[in-house]
A = this chain, B = another copy of it.
Amino acid sequence: MHTHTDSTACDDLAGAARILSAAQHLFAEKGFAAVSMHEIAQHAGVSKSNVFHHFRSKDELYLAVLGAACTSHREQLVPLLSGDEPFGVRLQRIMHADLEFMFAEPERAQLVLREITGTKPDDAVQPAPALLRDNAAALVAQMRIAQQNGEIRAEIDPAAVALLFLAANKFYFLTRNLIRHFPDVDFADDHGRYVEKIADLILHGVLPQEGVPK
């Protein structure tokens, strides 16, 4: 009566979806090499052979998981970039949306970032690096437009702004479990406060403005 199989237990997912979900969870937490197919099968509530039935190899399963993570990340930044608010407001909105997106699906974000930060010299056309490249390019393009509109200083390198923005957000996400315990940090659990403080720094810099406006 159902479309096909009814699931045997646990989640409302069935078959391959259950396996993908378990694999995403484990790969994100422990990394590719530290996870076994046995472990994935257990978490998915199926037999190990069933995992091999749906995915021909461990690599294929990992690529399926990573591909899904990249796909869900791919178009998230672009529609947020434009807008007619002042640059400062737009920057805060983009930072906040990027954070919300990562914290909403931390496992997928972790997978993508692990691929990006552990990349060796040669593998430049993998899905995760390509994702970063595209998002960074869109970000830089937007910075350039803002610069043409006189919203940011003419001497600035748009790529440097994009790097600073991405670095701050990704580093904040990656070290979230560490800086929570740092006595000096009061924004580890309050993304809004974090965005306000970092955006203020990027916008106005740290120097007192009494100096020469140049």
Contacts and interface: CB of A to CB of B under 8 A. Distances in A.
A8 to B, nearest CB: 30
A184 B159 contact: yes
B156 A29 contact: no
Contacts of A55: none
A185 B162 CA distance: 10
B201 A156 contact: yes
Contact of A181 (B124, B183, B204): B124
Interface in A44-83: none
When all copies of this chain in the complex are counted, the total is 2
Nearest to A126: B178
A214 B210 CA distance: 8
A113 B116 CA distance: 13
A159 B185 contact: yes
Contact of A88 (B87, B133, B207): B207
Interface residues of A, number: 71
* Chain A binding surface, main DSSP class: helix
Contact of A137 (B164, B170, B184, B186): B184
A164 B32 contact: no
Given A124-B181, A171-B167, A161 B204 contact: no
B177 A172 contact: no
A111 to B, nearest CB: 11
Contact of A209 (B132, B161, B194, B213): B213
Counting from the closest, the 5 A-B pairs by CB-CB distance are A205-B205, A167-B171, A33-B34, A33-B33, A209-B213
Given A160-B201, A163-B168, 15 more contacts: A113-B117, A124-B177, A132-B175, A136-B184, A137-B183, A151-B208, A152-B206, A153-B204, A153-B208, A156-B200, A162-B184, A167-B167, A201-B202, A201-B205, A209-B213
